[in-house]
A and B are shown apart, each in its own frame.
Chain A
Amino acid sequence: MTGTLPKIRIRDLHKSFGSKKVLDGINLDVMPGTSFVIIGGSGSGKSVLLRCILGLITPDTGSIEIDGEDMITASPRRQDALRGKIGMLFQNGALFDSLPVWENVTFGLLALKRLNRKEARGHAGSILAQVGLDPSVGELYPSELSGGMQKRVGLARAIAAQPDILFFDEPTTGLDPIMGAVIDGLIVDCVKKLGSTAIAITHDMASAQRIGDEAAMLYKGQLIWQGPASSLMDSGNAMVDQFTHGRREGPITMELRR
């Protein structure tokens, strides 16, 4: 029975900021072990959706269930416990500037007291190796790293606690195509190795196809298409096709500001 229960179930989710409707009735099931990619233009609500699932933003109405437990109505203690199942790679890495890389990577483990500082320092090296970084990188500070290295450290931090669920917020943004492919490869490897369920949001089509099993497109706060990630470039949906092929002409109109 539990095998058929979605890892994440979202029902009729709405969120507005002032008069701007950002999420407009989202319904979504993400099954265990699936890598789910959400595509959509800037301002379509992708990041807000991810932050709602994490409990960083409270939606106006609707429900978000993780392993059958509602994240929104859960007590703060239960919310923390549910959040503990999730590892997150932020768009810009969001590494803690004041801490060395090894402490960034093991921050969650130290917070949960799963390791002491001495053990954490050693453990960080093995996690860094999993994302293709030399353990000596652990002694550096985030400001001393390149963009690609920062993403890898962010990924190392996300997988350090071996979470059930992994979120990736535009993992390849700001990287060159080769480094983007490297990061995608690492994400796929990590998700497979941990057996995690993953949600990635991106507007990089190559990345979406590399990472995802399933995909959906968000437009003006609504999910307008859902299907296999392999059919993203040939979805049969006019809006998705316009977006994935990067065409100016089509049903999607961009609001341009002067």
Chain B
Amino acid sequence: MLLDLVAKLGRTTLGLIRAAGSLTLFALSGLSHIFRPPFYGRVFLSTFLETGFFSLPVVALTALFSGGVIALQSYTGFAQYHVQSAIAGIVVLAVTRELGPVLAGLMVAGRVGAAMAAEIGTMRVTDQVDALTTLSTNPMKYLVAPRLLAGLIALPLLVLVADVLGVAGGFTVSVVKLGFSPHAYITATLNSVKVIDVTVGLVKAALFGFLIALMGCYYGYNSKGGAEGVGTATTSAVVAASILLLAFDYLLTDLFFSQ
């Protein structure tokens, strides 16, 4: 009985180590192909547009409403201590450091990470990935490297937009609903915003973009067993990307901002 338990624990541990090793090798291989020709500019451009441009509406709306919610919630708490003037600083800090990258990342993981896993997974189960190999094309170079690069570049740009719109959301709610002076709010925002906050937010976004693309490509590339396998890969890609994103968010926050 005890031996069975130990054996099961051992198998699970070995399985986890194997999965981590496989993912690491996949990531290193994908990264190495980013820098080695041939380069597939068209695949990169279409993925970049899909990740960056076509995700703009959903990321913009999320940032706008989140900025508004922070302003509203902060006001509820701060009014008790008569420190409402700190709201502008809180909004800009929360948006640039955390909410911009994390919410944009989660939205893109749901939208683009799932699409990547489904597309590559379908190609895998319908022999299209093997067909690439037979046509003198390395699938890692053609399918994975351009997506990793697109994620790495597109998400910081999206987060930059999310930062601006998140602050705009807070500004709108504070001015229209809470009666703040527009001039005072903007001055307080400009006084509170720091280059390091925005920079770290963008670094986080680049890492999140890479992780989302990596999970989408990895699970899609290793799909098995037809439509059901592709469905499982898609779900796994989104779940894994979301969890990794939140875990790395904590680690980076601890690295850059812990006292």
Contact = CB atoms under 8 A, between A and B. Distances in A.
B253 interface: no
A185 interface: no
Given A94-B126, A108-B137, 16 more contacts: A51-B130, A54-B133, A56-B130, A56-B133, A56-B134, A83-B134, A88-B131, A90-B127, A90-B131, A91-B127, A92-B126, A94-B128, A95-B131, A98-B119, A107-B137, A111-B38
B122 interface: yes
Interface string A85-114: 011101110111110000000011001100
Nearest to B134: A88
Interface of B: 38, 119, 122-123, 126-128, 130-131, 133-137
A94 B131 contact: yes
Nearest to A163: B134
A144 interface: no
B127 A111 contact: no
B42 to A, nearest CB: 9
B131 to A, nearest CB: 4
Contacts of A108: 135-137
A112 B138 CA distance: 12
Nearest to B137: A111
Contacts of B126: 92, 94
A114 to B, nearest CB: 10
Contact of B136 (A56, A90, A111, A157): A111
B127 A94 contact: yes
Nearest to B136: A111
A54 B128 CA distance: 14
Contacts of A92: 126-127
B136 A112 contact: yes
A69 to B, nearest CB: 17
B123, B136, B137 — which one has the most chain A CB atoms within 10 A of its CB? B136
Contacts of B134: 54, 56, 83, 86-88
Contacts of A83: 133-134, 136
A6 interface: no
A51 B128 CA distance: 14
A244 to B, nearest CB: 27
A98 B122 CA distance: 12
Contacts of A97: 122-123, 128
A112 B136 CA distance: 7
A84 interface: yes
A95 B122 CA distance: 12
27 contacts: A51-B130, A54-B133, A55-B133, A56-B133, A56-B134, A83-B133, A83-B134, A83-B136, A86-B134, A88-B131, A90-B127, A90-B130, A91-B127, A92-B127, A94-B127, A94-B128, A95-B131, A96-B128, A96-B131, A97-B123, A97-B128, A107-B135, A107-B137, A108-B136, A111-B38, A111-B135, A157-B135
Interface string A109-131: 00110000000000000000000
Contacts of A51: 130
A159 to B, nearest CB: 12
B24 to A, nearest CB: 20
Interface string A56-76: 100000000000000000000
A98 B143 CA distance: 12
A161 to B, nearest CB: 8
A157 B122 CA distance: 20
Contacts of B130: 51, 54, 56, 90, 94
A90 B128 CA distance: 9
A134 interface: no
A80 interface: yes
A190 B133 CA distance: 22
A80 B137 CA distance: 9
Contacts of A87: 134
A80 B135 CA distance: 9
B230 to A, nearest CB: 13
B38, B122, B126 — which one has the most chain A CB atoms within 10 A of its CB? B126
A224 B165 CA distance: 71
A95 B137 CA distance: 14
B140 to A, nearest CB: 12
B47 to A, nearest CB: 11
Contacts of B38: 111
Nearest to B130: A56
A98 B123 CA distance: 10
A75 to B, nearest CB: 14
A64 B38 CA distance: 29
A86 to B, nearest CB: 7
